Amino acid sequence: MIDFLLQLGAPQAWLDSPSLQVLLLGAVRIVIILALAALVLALVRRGTERWIATVADRPATDPKRQRAVTLGTLLQSTAGYVVWAVAGIMVLSEVGLDIGALIATAGIAGLAVGFGAQTLVKDVIGGIFLLFDDILHVGDLVTIDGHTGTIEEIGVRLIKLRKFDGELVMIPAGEVRTFGNKSVQWARAIVPVGLSYEQDVDAILPVMERVANEWVAAHEEIVLDETPQVQGLMDFGDSSVTARVVVRVTPGEQYAAERELRQRLKRAFDAKGIEIPFPQRTMHVARREAPARPPGAGDAPDSPTSPEPDANQ
């Protein structure tokens, strides 16, 4: 203890101590390691921010912007985990811990975690491939695993799908096998119309064609084919024959187009006195008559008469 106090009183001797020099050198190395780790992460963050900035002027629902933001966030998170893990191992090596045993233990633990997190890893990989393939976008109307709705978010692990009734469905990206996308290139507005068997179909089809052409002229901004199709008899139903109107429109507009076409057709039919049939049933009620009775079968029996008393008695 006295020697230590004497060394403190002699700064030059304290600085010349070999153990202190080793300690200071190790501390400097640790600081350099941490500084390099922070520098690498700063460069990664700077690069991803520049990448995201190139699409920042696009709408929030633009697929390129969504992909850049998602992949940029994923890259920053992954780089953070990897860089700090490597830096931590190097710092532990400078402290004097056995890195070999630590890496072996970490490898065994990672193997165990990997077996337990196979589903999570599969979902993450599936999400990354979906983002790179550029086949699903925010705002697309899709059907995935029987759920139909609009995509609100595509993450690395989950796809958030908003159904028509407002329900938000979370679908793991690794579970997506087959899906239908109704928001690619074009869509069809299809309006089937039931016509009565008693009416002249040849006189009704021109009315439908006129209504379809008027609708197309009023909605040129969403119509992709200026000539609507009024298809003839498509089916013989129980109470009607079916014709239909088909128009190609931009994706996502088909449902509004169908609603307005139905409304216009109903008005035109009402003006022309064209009947839209509905299922009817004619019921025949059988009346069963009571079976004939034999004569006297239903008559009340005669009341018994007592014999008249004998007057002589």
Is the predicted pLDDT of residue 13 greater than 60, yes or no? no
Residue 73: strand pairing partners: none
Q: What is the pTM of this model?
A: 0.56
Is the predicted pLDDT of residue 147 greater than 80, yes or no? yes
pLDDT in tens, 113-140: 666 667 777 777 787 777 777 788 878 8
Highest-confidence segment of 162-166, 249-253, 273-277: 162-166
CA 254/CA 186 separation, integer angstroms: 9
In a domain, 313, yes or no: no
Q: What is the pLDDT of residue 26?
A: 76
Strand pairing of 158-163 and 187-195?
unpaired
Residues 166 and 259 in one domain: no
The fraction of the chain above a pLDDT of 70, given in percent, is: 78
When comparing pLDDT for 280 and 167, which is higher?
167
Least confident of 58-62, 90-94, 150-154: 58-62
Residues 174 and 257 in one domain: no
CA 19/CA 29 separation, integer angstroms: 15
Residues 250 and 164 in one domain: no
Helix (H) or strand (E) holding 227: none
Residues 67 and 24 in one domain: yes
Residues 153 and 234 in one domain: no
Contacts (Cβ under 8 Å, ≥6 apart) of 289: none
Residues 13 and 94 in one domain: yes
Q: How many domains does the chain have?
A: 3
Residues 43 and 73 in one domain: yes
Residues 230 and 268 in one domain: yes
Highest-confidence segment of 101-105, 222-226, 253-257, 297-301: 253-257
Work out the number of other CB atoms within 10 angstroms of the CB of residue 59.
10
In a domain, 47, yes or no: yes
In a domain, 92, yes or no: yes
Residues 206 and 254 in one domain: yes
CA 231/CA 194 separation, integer angstroms: 12
- Vertex 278, ends 268 and 272: CA angle to 5°? 20
pLDDT in tens, 257-298: 999 999 999 999 999 888 888 776 767 777 776 666 666 555
Strands (E), the chain: 141-144, 147-154, 158-163, 168-172, 179-181, 187-195, 229-236, 241-249
Residues 29 and 105 in one domain: yes
In a domain, 197, yes or no: yes
Q: What CATH number does residue 177 fall under?
A: 2.30.30.60
CA 13/CA 77 separation, integer angstroms: 47
In a domain, 125, yes or no: no
Q: Which of 62, 89, 116 is the last residue of a domain?
A: 116
pLDDT in tens, 42-75: 999 999 889 888 888 877 667 777 778 777 877 8
Residues 133, 124: contact at Cβ < 8 Å?
no
Q: Which of 92, 116, 140 is the last residue of a domain?
A: 116
Closest CA to 189 of 105, 114, 253, 277: 253
Residues 137 and 199 in one domain: no
In a domain, 124, yes or no: no
DSSP 46-100: HHHHHHHHTTTTS-TT-HHHHHHHHHHHHHHHHHHHHHHHHHHHHHHHHHT--HH
When comparing pLDDT for 108 and 15, which is higher?
108
What domain range includes position 15?
9-116
